[in-house]
Structure 1
């Protein structure tokens, strides 16, 4: 069993894998790399959209909090959990 990725700090800057593909189809957001694919809900798609190789986990959490009217702590925790899942399926590089 492999260990799950844990973001090293709030200053961690996630990067999309070059192989990652994103498609919007009939109101759904799908992301894939190789044989791994995921459907993202609205908030997850927003978080994935913030992954640009320049924006830190802290900044992503702040943007989520401002956009969805939740606390920065909750938004950052949720963002970290989603990004860890995306690292685990190779959509985001660690």
Structure 2
């Protein structure tokens, strides 16, 4: 599943998790998506925010079965997009998995 591009809002999710953790210390965030540079960047941010133990990075997943095995453990799902004049992914993404 996907890439962790800048427009994906992972940084916003991590900063939000740091705030939520203050009220719910056991909260977990599962992040699926690839791009080695991006993954390392976000792992570093999670460490800086003190939430490394609350975040799991699964990398790029090309198996729908494996993706569903991860997703089935989630209580909510996020698909965040930062506004961008050059990013059309928001309009090309299938909505069926989000139903």
State TM-score, norm by structure 1: 0.30
Bigger fraction of residues in helix: 2
State TM-score, norm by structure 2: 0.29
Instruction: Tell which structure's C-alpha radius of gyration is larger.
Output: 2
Bigger fraction of residues in strand: 1
